[in-house]
Structure 1
């Protein structure tokens, strides 16, 4: 949402990332989202979250001055060099988890965690960015949710959100688990042509184990991924646990809650009418909304902005390189087998007896002769 430019704060004489929102058809909603982002990142003080410096308006335009991060996004590095090693991916995700932990501590849920919203600075620091569709845990329904829209990116959408339930901190963890899965395998846990089909898989399917795609992922990395991708939000780790390097086998701080009953297929399909079918209008729009945000900014700002360099460039342009990742020559194997379906046994038909019915008939009385 909005265009981001590299600009100069003429008062403090420092470079900043300047995000602008210009009047559009849905100005009220765009402005509300913009204000929410400013409010969210202003509450968070953490080295793994992009800092906010200033917020205001200039005529019909609203602006947000933020920390300038020179480098690239995690998504850009993935596209350029391919899958990460397990160690590097864990290092990136744990830093992102530290930033999310700081946000969750302030009652802020990101709701759109994905590789494109994780900035990778030149010094290797990972910073969580783009809090434009956050949810505050201390608020009731807002104009953003009262219309029953599901916001986010379908490839990283938690099952509970696909069913139309509110986002919580555990929803960010699931999304981050999808990011980790993609970083080490080169693909998202679930894929399909339509967002609704992807959302259905988040609810009903289990992902292919990462070690089946790359055997060397067996162990700590795979354990963490599957822990983060638990269907039940209560069974996922917290952001603080991930940042601290916790593992399912040795973690002792997680409180085991009563198991949550998984929705049956009919309920999921019914939920699809309210949630997945909603994707035809909401999620498809969301996909367009999110993908549009990834487009590079234009080369100049509005005329008459003296604080902006005439040759402004988009934030997070890649300025560093790393050696190409050596890819394995072994072919990737994908599990295609599933549980065998057992045909139900037909019930036996009643057997008819071939013997005649031996039931005795009552004897007829003899006719009277009429004699006394």
Structure 2
């Protein structure tokens, strides 16, 4: 994408932040406000596929309806004529989001992991976002470290609603046979079976996220997506305390419930998950006290409301 390109007569395209299967994310300059934004631009070769375009437009509609401090803010959407490799103009849709100057949880894990206190603090922010989205009737369906941004001041921002659906939507499972929507490492058992995803499916994925934040590895690993999906359906996860000496049976109990195979055995709301996690956090003794205080606060830290910039590859779909 040319750095001289201006989308919609307003957004100047800057450097590439990340590339996904359906879209690229660039940093962009809003020429009206002078603020940096994140521009999610559908790949040109997909712009004439009506199903892909419909999904992209649905993502914009979902994002536009979700205003919360722990969710990257939707700003605008539109179309523009973009030249392809042959010089022909292609009408390409784009989404404009808040640009978060920071790192994804995937980045932080690759840098060497987190203390239990920081892991819990960030998880509380993710659960705050999910509590809001679920009350709005939206299931994210792709909770994973790459889709959680941490701004420089510590704000948690959930991003990428590219495969989000309304609760109970019969299409909220797989695109076609053996093609999983969502990332297999964080997939709920019901999604692996091709069943309809609901809020408790997101909470299972959030349980996988918490396990990885605390231990440095997901609960299930395998050589291919099918083997990982099989484990989600049939095998019990390991105890997190077996992978980190500072974790306690209380934390193991929270994860065991979050990762229950049957939806009815899991936490039934993000609020219930949060409350149980705060209680379990009190049993931790070897972690940063300041991070624990943030996790135990009954509100998302005020820093969550001040993030101004979505970066890296988090918005790519």
Q: State the TM-score, normalized to the length of structure 1.
A: 0.63
Does the 8 Å CA contact 1:227/1:248 hold for their aligned counterparts? no
Counterpart position of 1:227: 257
User: Which runs of structure 1 show a deviation greater than 6 angstroms over 4 or more consecutive aligned residues?
Assistant: none
Does the 8 Å CA contact 2:171/2:196 hold for their aligned counterparts? no
1:105 pairs, out of 132, 135, 138, with: 135
Counterpart position of 2:95: 64
State the SS of the aligned residue for 2:246.
helix
Does the 8 Å CA contact 1:170/1:233 hold for their aligned counterparts? yes
Residue 247 of structure 1: how far off its partner (Å): 6.7
Does the 8 Å CA contact 1:86/1:221 hold for their aligned counterparts? no
Residue 215 of structure 1: how far off its partner (Å): 3.0
After TM superposition, the structure 1 = structure 2 runs for residues 250-265 of structure 1, keeping only pairs within 5 Å, are none
Residue 223 of structure 1: how far off its partner (Å): 2.2
After TM superposition, the structure 1 = structure 2 runs for residues 226-305 of structure 1, keeping only pairs within 5 Å, are 226-237=256-267, 238-245=269-276
Residue 219 of structure 1: how far off its partner (Å): 3.5
State the SS of the aligned residue for 1:217.
coil
Q: Distance in 2 between matches of 1:21 and 1:38?
A: 12
Counterpart position of 1:28: 50
Q: Distance in 2 between matches of 1:199 and 1:22?
A: 29
Residue 136 of structure 1: how far off its partner (Å): 1.3
RMSD: 2.3
Segments of structure 1 that go 5 or more residues without pairing to the other structure are 250-313, 318-372
State the SS of the aligned residue for 1:216.
coil
Query: How many corresponding residue pairs?
Result: 252
State the SS of the aligned residue for 2:100.
coil
Residue 27 of structure 1: how far off its partner (Å): 2.1
Residue 34 of structure 1: how far off its partner (Å): 1.2
Counterpart position of 2:85: none
Measured against aligned partners, the alpha-carbon deviations of 1:203-256 in whole angstroms (never above 9, x if no partner) come to 11111111122232114432221121111112212112233455799xxxxxxx
The answer to whether 1:189 aligns with 2:211 is no
Segments of structure 2 that go 5 or more residues without pairing to the other structure are 1-21, 82-90, 281-309
Does the 8 Å CA contact 2:168/2:196 hold for their aligned counterparts? no
The answer to whether 1:12 aligns with 2:43 is no
After TM superposition, the structure 1 = structure 2 runs for residues 329-368 of structure 1, keeping only pairs within 5 Å, are none
Q: State the TM-score, normalized to the length of structure 2.
A: 0.74
Q: Distance in 2 between matches of 1:193 and 1:146?
A: 22
State the SS of the aligned residue for 1:119.
strand
Residue 147 of structure 1: how far off its partner (Å): 3.6
State the SS of the aligned residue for 1:173.
helix
Q: Distance in 2 between matches of 1:198 and 1:32?
A: 30
2:62 pairs, out of 37, 40, 57, with: 40
Does the 8 Å CA contact 2:174/2:194 hold for their aligned counterparts? no
Does the 8 Å CA contact 2:168/2:197 hold for their aligned counterparts? no
Q: Distance in 2 between matches of 1:212 and 1:161?
A: 27
Residue 146 of structure 1: how far off its partner (Å): 6.5
State the SS of the aligned residue for 1:63.
strand
Does the 8 Å CA contact 1:108/1:137 hold for their aligned counterparts? yes
Does the 8 Å CA contact 1:96/1:118 hold for their aligned counterparts? yes
2:158 pairs, out of 100, 111, 128, with: 128
Distance 1:146 1:122, change over 3 A: closer
Counterpart position of 1:163: 193
